[in-house]
Chains A and B, each alone.
Chain A
Amino acid sequence: MKAVKFKQNIIITFLRVMIISSFFLGWELGARLGKLDTFFFSSPTEIAIDLFYLFSSGKVYPHVLMTMKEVFAGLFLGSLSGIFIGIVLGKYETLARAVDPVIMGLYAIPKIAIAPLFILWFGLGIIGKIVFAWVVVFFLIFFNTYAGMRSVDPDLIDSVKAMGANEWQILTKVSIPSCVPWVLVGLRASLGASLVAAIVGEFVAADTGLGHMIMEGLTLFMTQRVLAVVLLLSVIVIAMDLCLRMMEKRFLKWRPNRIS
């Protein structure tokens, strides 16, 4: 069994390497042979050289730092407020139904469309991007937490009630723990969304940040710069996702066959 699986893994890894390397190889060849215009499409070597320059000159670090600050501040604030409001509304159904039109109305607004407003309200600095990322993350976490609160097993609540648990104990010992998997699902969606929010915020107006670098690259017609930053962004997303997977392992070890 194990040997079969091992063999399968080797085949899969081999195929992955083949697919990715042939993509880059094809791109590079196309560029060298003049089939692809490097003005529009750059080439893998150009991108690699630009990346090396960005890191060796230290030019990229303040931008990465700025964007990460916005992303994590947005994730942190959005998660805290989303979990809190989700629990409160999950607990008080009347209140939830009362504020439902407000929340659905706000949710229905395409967030990207109002990104410029956040710059108008909170200025050109970091605050506008943080608040924007916060709002985007809030809805994702809130809806998941709320759904989790609504799907707590009533049998569990009954058995704890029979033991004499008060409302607070039911909340902390049954309802909130059973929301954890839901919150983690929301968090996974939020990682990417928070980054998108920060980048879009920087597109609108900024003097630092990876989104700003992309815009700058574009205005200077440096396609390799734009693509180098895009590559960097993918690496960041993958790294954040790996961290979240580790968190899930820690928090969900009580669940059979975790779906990853």
Chain B
Amino acid sequence: MTCGANTLIDAQNIYKEFFSKDGKKVKALQDVNFHIRKGEFVAIVGPSGCGKTTLLKLLTGLIRPDSGKILVNEKSIKTSNGRVGYMSQADSLLPWRTVSRNIELGLEIQGVPAGQRKKKAQELINHMGLKGFERSYPFELSGGMKQRVAIMRTLSYNPAIIYMDEPFGALDVQTRDMLEDDILRIWGETKKTIVFVTHDLSEAIILADRVFLMTSRPATIKGEYVIDLPRPRTTDIRLTPEFNKILREIWCDLSTEVKRFREAFDEGG
């Protein structure tokens, strides 16, 4: 496999297994190979429970593969000190911290002085339209606002890569659209590398440059689709015929996969 000069993330033959509660060995991921370029927006789509979260945790360095290699900037990631952005489905804000203190968290960990931290947090709050909520606690915010704070917290310490694990999965459609537009705008402004995991194919197509299709048991990347829809995008792109053409194409592949999986499941069970 050739590796372009601007490859940022390089996953080689990743294999990961788990032991289920009754002691059975479960292959979570097998033969996972891909490259992600610097500044690219990649979405990973797959059915629930197919190992997407496991893959993301491997990429962030929170867990290690049983075999295979993950290189970031041609260096293997050691333990979990990657200093990357990571957003999970739960907002994972610290409930005892106010909005601005939550946003400052990443900078605090890096030892940035308090004055600078506060300034940076305030900038982000103003920019993301959460003015007036600086001193609110997470329980006082709506789900969408919490995820906005989580986005700001990730942006505050300026990581090169942001990993997102179904960050908008629990939100209603309107809020979701709004946050997807936020992400598109932020990506346009900052040109960060974003790896976005979702089970929602349309969301993946709206956001990404490339979509990886994952299959389950053992999970691997089955297909890869380049989304050549024009940039800058907004969520309105889902109304265009080009969008629908791509959606239909990937959908067909996905449903064959689901059918195949189901048949295998029926025969086996």
Contacts and interface: CB of A to CB of B under 8 A. Distances in A.
B60 interface: yes
A163 B105 contact: yes
A165 B61 CA distance: 13
A164 B109 contact: yes
Contacts, number: 65
Given A174-B94, A254-B137, A255-B95, A165 B88 contact: no
A253 B96 CA distance: 8
Interface residues of A, number: 22
A177 B105 CA distance: 14
Given A173-B105, A177-B96, A158 B110 contact: no
B83 A164 contact: yes
B18 to A, nearest CB: 15
Contact of B108 (A155, A166, A173, A178): A173
Contacts of B137: 253-254
A interface, over-half SS:
helix
Contacts of A253: 137
A196 B31 CA distance: 64
B62 A158 contact: yes
B81 interface: yes
B109 A162 contact: no
Given A180-B96, A254-B137, A255-B139, A159 B109 contact: no
Interface in A109-161: 153, 155-156, 158-161
Residue from A158, A253, A256 whose CB has the most chain B CB atoms within 10 Å: A158
Contact of B81 (A155, A159, A164): A164
A162 B80 contact: yes
Contacts of A156: 92, 94
B interface, over-half SS:
loop
A234 interface: no
A119 to B, nearest CB: 43
A9 interface: no
B35 interface: no
Residue from B61, B83, B105 whose CB has the most chain A CB atoms within 10 Å: B105
B196 interface: no
Interface in A155-204: 155-156, 158-166, 169, 173-174, 177-178, 180
Contacts of A155: 88, 90, 92
Nearest to B95: A254
Nearest to B88: A155
Residue from A155, A159, A177 whose CB has the most chain B CB atoms within 10 Å: A159
Given A158-B57, A158-B62, A254-B137, A163 B92 contact: no
8 contacts: A155-B92, A159-B92, A163-B157, A174-B94, A253-B137, A254-B97, A254-B139, A256-B139
Interface of A: 153, 155-156, 158-166, 169, 173-174, 177-178, 180, 253-256
Given A161-B80, A254-B137, 6 more contacts: A155-B92, A158-B62, A160-B109, A163-B83, A166-B81, A254-B138
Q: Which 9 A-B pairs have the closest CB atoms?
A: A162-B86, A164-B83, A159-B92, A254-B137, A256-B139, A254-B96, A163-B106, A161-B80, A155-B92
